[in-house]
Structure 1
Amino acid sequence: MPVQAVIFDLDGVLIDSEPVWEEVRRAYVADRGGRWLPDTQERLMGMSTDEWAEYLATDLIDGVTAEQVAYEVIDQMEQRYETELPVLPGAEAAVRRLAEYRPLGLASSSPRILIDLVLGKLGVSSLFRATVSTEEVDRGKPEPDGYLTVAARLEVPPGGCVAIEDSSNGIRSAHAAGMTVIAIPRPAHPPAPDALRLAAHVAGGLDEVTPELVASVHR
């Protein structure tokens, strides 16, 4: 099956947002007398809004609701992005390069308001034919729901898609959907070895991700 679409993740692929998420959520937990556990950040990566808000409200902080956590944390993230967007090297060029090659989708664990804000500030909103937040599907990453929904909206089979991911849960999600995965690990939060083995190719950065590479790794 030829490549019919390319699907980007957002956090850790187009923007270096995980450190911002971690800083904001750590401070939020600390300000409310909560406890940040050694595996908290790894657990949070890939969770949908409902999932991470429930986790913070239930496991880390007392006396808050998941709805309150989600609203307040997302509001702080929006303010941070408005001030300074942590764009990764080659992000805009990679999106434009691959948009000329195949239709683009995006499957992100970020809430819808942040997806739209980031793509708008990058100036690439119109290049994505379908974008999905995992808050809009039943289950977040590593489950395949987000990627399957993007493929359906693009009207292409999952097996015809190449996904670009950085995290363990993201790689597992795209692979579980039946997609070919190009991994671009982030040094601060490298994927687990078993997850990385699911990727068809491991790239050092977005500049390596060309139409030629996408076509060559697709299975």
Structure 2
Amino acid sequence: MGIAAVVFDMDGVLIDSESVWEQVRHEYVDLKGGRWQPDSQVKMMGMSTVEWSAYLADDLGVAEPADQVAADVIDLMADKYAHHVPLLPGAVEAVRRCAESWQLGLASSSPATLIDLVLAKSGLIDAFAAVLSTEEVGRGKPAPDVYLTVAQRLGVDPKDCTAVEDSTNGLRSAHAAGMRLIAAPRPDFPPSREALALADVVIDGVDQLTTEVVTG
């Protein structure tokens, strides 16, 4: 029946936020006496809030309970976004363009409070028929849970959806859900070659997301 919906990731697709997450988490780990590792941010890309807060506490040695870690880091991120939402070039236009032809969903690893803040400040809160954080489902990316649930809420079969992703775990998640997959990798946090190979098409950025790219 063709493509019925487009499902976007948020971090790294609509906003250039991975470096912000890395800065905030790195500074927090240092402040709390933990041990930041060179690959820590890459490992956390796609993790749910429960998963990455436990990683900071258990693996990186932050001397706080995981729920406190989550609350602290989310507050720090919200403060960053309150001052500036780092929208990627063409992101708003790409969302509006897709909304003219399809239902839209958002499947993000960010907590719901940050998703709502970003969408409100970018003027996109009305564009998405289904918005979901991995903290609201059983498992974070690369598990397909968040994409499957968004498709369910949109009332469409996952195979009739196109997903737009950037990270290794995100690409694996959308592919596991059975969606047509567009990769928009970020050069500063590139996905693995194996994950990138799962994509039906690769674009340099969300500004290249046209009707023809979505439908193939």
Q: Residue 6 of structure 1: SS of its match in structure 2? A: strand
- The answer to whether residue 202 in structure 2 is matched with residue 202 in structure 1 is yes
Q: What TM-score does the superposition give when structure 1 sets the normalisation length?
A: 0.97
Partner of 1:16: 16
Counterpart-to-counterpart distance in 1, 2:63 and 2:163 = 39
* More divergent stretch after superposition (201-210 vs 163-172): 201-210
Report the equivalent of 1:97: 97
| Distance (Å, rounded) in 1 between the aligned partners of 2:5 and 2:34 | 43
Offset at residue 61 of structure 1 (A): 2.0
Q: How does 1:70-219 map to 2 (within 5 A)?
A: 70-216=70-216
C-alpha distance in 2 between matches for 1:81 and 1:118: 7
Q: CA deviation at 1:62?
A: 4.3
Give 2:65's aligned residue.
Answer: 65
The TM-score, its normalising length taken from structure 2, stands at 0.98
CA distance in 2, matches of 1:41, 1:127: 29
Give deviations 1:158-204, integer Å, cap 9, x for gaps. Answer: 00000000001000000000001100010001110000000000001
The CA deviation at 1:38 is: 2.4
The worse-fitting range, judged by mean Cα deviation, of 3-12 and 29-38 is 29-38
SS across alignment from 2:11: coil
| Structure 2: stretches of 5+ with no match in the other structure | none
Question: How much is the aligned-residue C-alpha RMSD, in angstroms?
Answer: 0.7
Q: Give the 3-state SS of the residue equivalent to 1:163 in structure 2.
A: strand
CA–CA distance in 1 between the matches of 2:46 and 2:120? Answer: 22
Q: Which residue of 2 aligns with 1:47?
A: 47
Cα-to-partner distance string for 1:65-121 (whole Å, 9 max, x where unaligned): 001100000000000000111110001000000000100000000000000000111
Q: 1:97 to 1:62 in 2, by over 3 A?
A: closer
Larger mean CA deviation between 147-156 and 35-44 belongs to 35-44
Letter of the 2:102 counterpart: R
Q: Secondary structure at the match of 1:125?
A: coil
Residues 142 and 172 of structure 2 are in contact (CA less than 8 Å); yes or no, is this contact kept in structure 1? yes
Mapped partners of 2:187, 2:204: distance in 1: 10
Total equivalences in the alignment: 216
SS in structure 1 opposite 2:147? Answer: helix
Runs of at least 4 residues off by over 2 Å: none
Q: Deviations over 1:3-47 (max 9, x none)?
A: 010000000000000000000000000011110112211110000
SS in 1 for 2:129: strand
Identity of matched residues, % = 60
Q: Tell whether the 8 Å contact from 2:29 to 2:62 is kept in structure 1 after alignment.
A: no
Q: How far apart, CA to CA, are the structure 1 residues paired with 2:156 and 2:63? A: 45
